[in-house]
Amino acid sequence: MNDPDRTNRKGRRPSNPSGSPSPDARPLFRRMLRSLVRPTDSRVSAPIPDARHVIDLCRSLLSEPGEPSGARLATEVLRAYESLDSAARDLFFELLVTEFSPDPAELWRAADAYRVEPSQANLVRLQAATEPPRQELFRRFNLAPGGTKVLVRMRGQLLKTLGAHPEQVGVDADLRHLFRSWFNRGFLFLQRIEWRTSALVLERLIEYEAVHQIHGWRDLRRRLEADRRCYAFFHPALPDEPLIFIEVALARGMEAKVQPLLDPDAPVMDPSRAECAVFYSITNCQDGLRGVSFGSSLIKQVAEELGREFPRLTTFATLSPVPGFGAWLANGDYPLVVGEHHSTIRTIIDTLRGLDVPEPPIAPAIQTALSRLCAYYLMYAKRGKAPLDPVARFHLANGARLERLNWMGDTSPTGLTRSLGFTVNYVYRLADVERNHSAYAKAYTIVASGSFQRLAKRGQRANESQAPSARAPD
């Protein structure tokens, strides 16, 4: 009963008498055996390891010299981590900050040595001193079978609470740094998703689709017919988990409305007659890989694949939402007066919200005014120097051109509320993509068709004509 090595109900060992944590010196087999027989809560049958217990296992993992035994211990650590509830997980991330950050004293010594003598040897020492022990810990987690998947899930869980715990930004930075290496384009493979693809992957498409919800198997099957294509990037460590996928409609021309493309009863067109590939949905599947860019590579590679399969294709365009437009307008809520027509942004949004009709009761003159404001929003509303709209940022940074704005292109409840029904076509001209990307990367230059630029200029004049206190904010 008084054994000082006995674990408590939550698996916590007594503190080291010296007051400083030290690696567990017991043999690996004994540690693993004790983890299996820890006392359990009377209400559940599974062990309840707490954050401190997981951290102790992490220290043991870092001290383990052999890869085979390290893989077994990494498996134990990840199993224990996955057993944590949300409160214990928050504490685990907190302990990763306080106990697995660089040693400030060693960092200063290495920095001083490099400042006095900027040799390669001192640079290597400085680089080693600045790397948090967390990074090596995460690398060792990856020794466990399925370790990559758990790490991706771990970062997804971290991101959910990062706003409330900004001190944990270093843990996020370490995971993001590793993921950008592990998930770089050289390790990814492109796969076309077809109806005969494994049911597990097809279920993932239904689960992850974030732009236009897939309503069951019948809906999914229509999206995989002969005049449709779906492609996804996969990673060898997550063979059944798409990282990102894109849905394409093969059409005779550039589509303006998304509902016909989503109609499960729409007739199937002969794909050999298609002249335009319409990218109507692109979904990042893994929250834990946020900030690790795949979209640009995916669009370019899919366009090349389609061009080889269908030589008649001359246009590669998106049919995209404008998800920030409704909120941007609502913040201004200024009056729109066009001839005899008078309304406010709030009234228009309330009129549109919840409707699911092809042509909502908005006067044509007001429609024109809204179109000009939407074009203005896409070209001139900014977040810093970049476009305010997230979809615009994505496509313009990838080298696309703003081509055309479509009134009532998406009449779903989400489309009406967030985009006021607008869709926009971004065009990817393969010969111009690199030049457009370079112009955007250097100076945030937005490439747009002449008609789009003229529409945005009219919207700019309309926006500037409003009183400063009522004008929609940029």
CATH of the domain at 80: 1.20.140.90
Report the pLDDT value the prediction gives residue 27, as an integer from 0 to 100.
Answer: 45
Can you tell me whether residue 394 is helix, strand or coil?
Answer: helix
pLDDT band for position 17 (cuts 50, 70, 90): very low
Report the pLDDT value the prediction gives residue 21, as an integer from 0 to 100.
Answer: 42
Average model confidence (pLDDT) across the chain = 86
Specify whether 146 is located in the same domain as 279. Answer: no
Percentage of the chain modeled with pLDDT above 90: 71
Check whether 143 has a pLDDT greater than 90: yes
Specify whether 175 is located in the same domain as 202. Answer: no
- Listed in sequence order, the residues at least 6 apart from 162 whose beta carbon sits closer than 8 Å to its beta carbon are 168, 169, 172
Where among 138, 167, 182 does a domain terminate?
Answer: 182
Specify whether 201 is located in the same domain as 175. Answer: no
Check whether 448 has a pLDDT greater than 90: yes
Count of structural domains within the chain: 3
- Listed in sequence order, the residues at least 6 apart from 208 whose beta carbon sits closer than 8 Å to its beta carbon are 242, 245, 283, 285
Specify whether 311 is located in the same domain as 325. Answer: no
Specify whether 99 is located in the same domain as 196. Answer: no
Specify whether 153 is located in the same domain as 241. Answer: no
Check whether 14 has a pLDDT greater than 60: no
Check whether 188 has a pLDDT greater than 90: yes
pLDDT band for position 55 (cuts 50, 70, 90): very high
- φ/ψ region of 342 (left if φ > 0, alpha if ψ in -120 to 50, else beta) reads beta
Check whether 423 has a pLDDT greater than 90: yes
Where among 182, 215, 241 does a domain terminate?
Answer: 182
Q: Which two tokens stand for residue 105?
A: 């004293």
Check whether 195 has a pLDDT greater than 60: yes
Report the pLDDT value the prediction gives residue 340, as an integer from 0 to 100.
Answer: 63
Report the pLDDT value the prediction gives residue 6, as an integer from 0 to 100.
Answer: 37
pLDDT band for position 342 (cuts 50, 70, 90): low
Where among 256, 285, 318 does a domain terminate?
Answer: 318
The answer as to whether 441 is a domain residue is: yes
The answer as to whether 6 is a domain residue is: no
| 34 or 73, greater pLDDT | 73
Report the pLDDT value the prediction gives residue 297, as an integer from 0 to 100.
Answer: 86
Specify whether 178 is located in the same domain as 190. Answer: no
Distance CA 161, CA 446 (A): 34
Can you tell me whether residue 172 is helix, strand or coil?
Answer: helix
pLDDT band for position 339 (cuts 50, 70, 90): low
Residue 451 among the catalytic residues: no
The answer as to whether 25 is a domain residue is: no
Q: Pick the catalytic residue: 53, 371, 395, 419?
A: 395
Specify whether 299 is located in the same domain as 427. Answer: no
Specify whether 265 is located in the same domain as 402. Answer: no
pLDDT digits (tens, 9 = 90+) for 413-422: 889 889 999 9
Specify whether 446 is located in the same domain as 394. Answer: yes
Range of 68-82, 244-258, 326-340 with top mean pLDDT: 244-258
Report the pLDDT value the prediction gives residue 65, as an integer from 0 to 100.
Answer: 81
Q: Pick the catalytic residue: 60, 281, 320, 343?
A: 320
| Strand positions, DSSP E, 367-452 | 382-383, 386-387, 401-406, 423-427
Check whether 306 has a pLDDT greater than 50: yes
**Beta pairing partners, 336:** 343
44-57 CB burial, b ≥16 within 10 A, e <16: eeebbbbbbbbbbb
* DSSP secondary structure letters along 137-158: HHHHHTTSTTHHHHHHHHHHHH
Report the pLDDT value the prediction gives residue 33, as an integer from 0 to 100.
Answer: 39
Query: Taking the CA atoms of the chain, what radius of gyration do you get in angstroms?
Result: 27
Report the pLDDT value the prediction gives residue 199, as an integer from 0 to 100.
Answer: 96
Evaluate whether 424 touches 378 at the Cβ level (below 8 Å). yes
Check whether 467 has a pLDDT greater than 70: no
Report the pLDDT value the prediction gives residue 67, as an integer from 0 to 100.
Answer: 74
Report the pLDDT value the prediction gives residue 38, as an integer from 0 to 100.
Answer: 40
CATH, residue 275? 3.40.630.180
Question: Of 281, 326, 332, nearest to 419 (Cα)?
Answer: 326
| 100 or 461, greater pLDDT | 100
Check whether 276 has a pLDDT greater than 80: yes
Specify whether 119 is located in the same domain as 253. Answer: no
Ranges 17-26, 71-80, 317-326, 365-374: which has the least confidence: 17-26
Check whether 393 has a pLDDT greater than 60: yes
The answer as to whether 215 is a domain residue is: yes
- The mean per-residue pLDDT over the stretch 49-57 comes to 89
pTM over 0.85: no
The answer as to whether 5 is a domain residue is: no
- The mean per-residue pLDDT over the stretch 293-311 comes to 91
DSSP class of residue 266 equals S
The answer as to whether 21 is a domain residue is: no
Report the pLDDT value the prediction gives residue 335, as an integer from 0 to 100.
Answer: 61
- Listed in sequence order, the residues at least 6 apart from 159 whose beta carbon sits closer than 8 Å to its beta carbon are 172, 287, 288, 290
The answer as to whether 27 is a domain residue is: no
Residue 341 among the catalytic residues: no
Report the pLDDT value the prediction gives residue 34, as an integer from 0 to 100.
Answer: 43
Which range marks the domain in which residue 340 is found?
321-464
The answer as to whether 212 is a domain residue is: yes
Specify whether 222 is located in the same domain as 289. Answer: yes
Distance CA 276, CA 298 (A): 18
Percentage of the chain modeled with pLDDT above 70: 82
